[in-house]
Amino acid sequence: MSLESDIPSWVQALAGGGLIGLSAALLMGLEGRILGISGFVRSVLEADPKLKGPSTAFLLGLVLVGILAQFYFVDTLTNTQPRSYMITILAGLLVGYGTAMGNGCTSGHGVCGLSRFSYRSLIATLSFMAAGMLTVTLHRVLMGGM
């Protein structure tokens, strides 16, 4: 069953953004924690007993929602470009290394850092965006307009 035809894409985007903002506000207000995926991963890997359970639940929720969404948003989530598993693993490791170097990820800096008017998060987010644009541009040039 696909819900895509019933819900306009702008409504989906608005709802998703609203839920991210609400989640970030609730986590900050109730727990005093910044919503950033790398922070949750770090909590699980460092085995902080106070944070490990909630962080694990959050990360499992991300994975499970992604799996469930494939059944409801089939056309949107269909991968039309073949991907190499090795390139995907390498990309994931590079992103992990980058988040450790940048003291946070795009969700932490872009959503929570910018909303707190953090200058460091502004620089990090601009860097993420510039690197992404450069990567896409280079990929298109090197791959012949793909």
Domain ranges for the chain = 9-142
Q: Distance of CA 36 to CAs 4, 17, 97, Å?
A: 28, 15, 15
Q: What does pTM read for this prediction? A: 0.66
Q: For the segment 50-72, what is each residue's pLDDT rounded down to a tens digit?
A: 788 888 988 999 889 888 888 88
Q: Is the pLDDT of residue 2 over 60?
A: no
Q: For the segment 102-142, what is each residue's pLDDT rounded down to a tens digit?
A: 788 877 888 888 888 999 989 988 988 898 899 889 988 88
Predicted confidence band of residue 77 (pLDDT cuts 50, 70, 90): low
Q: Which residues contact 38 (CB under 8 A, 6 or more apart)?
A: 96, 99, 100, 104, 105, 108
Q: What is the pLDDT of residue 133?
A: 93
Q: What is the pLDDT of residue 1?
A: 47
Q: Is the pLDDT of residue 97 over 50?
A: yes
Q: Distance of CA 4 to CAs 69, 71, 77, 80, 124, Å?
A: 11, 11, 11, 17, 34
Residue with tokens 């924690």: 33
Helix residue ranges per DSSP H, 46-118:
49-72, 74-77, 85-101, 106, 114-115
Residue of 34, 5, 31 whose CA lies nearest to 104 = 34
| Residue 112: DSSP 8-state | I
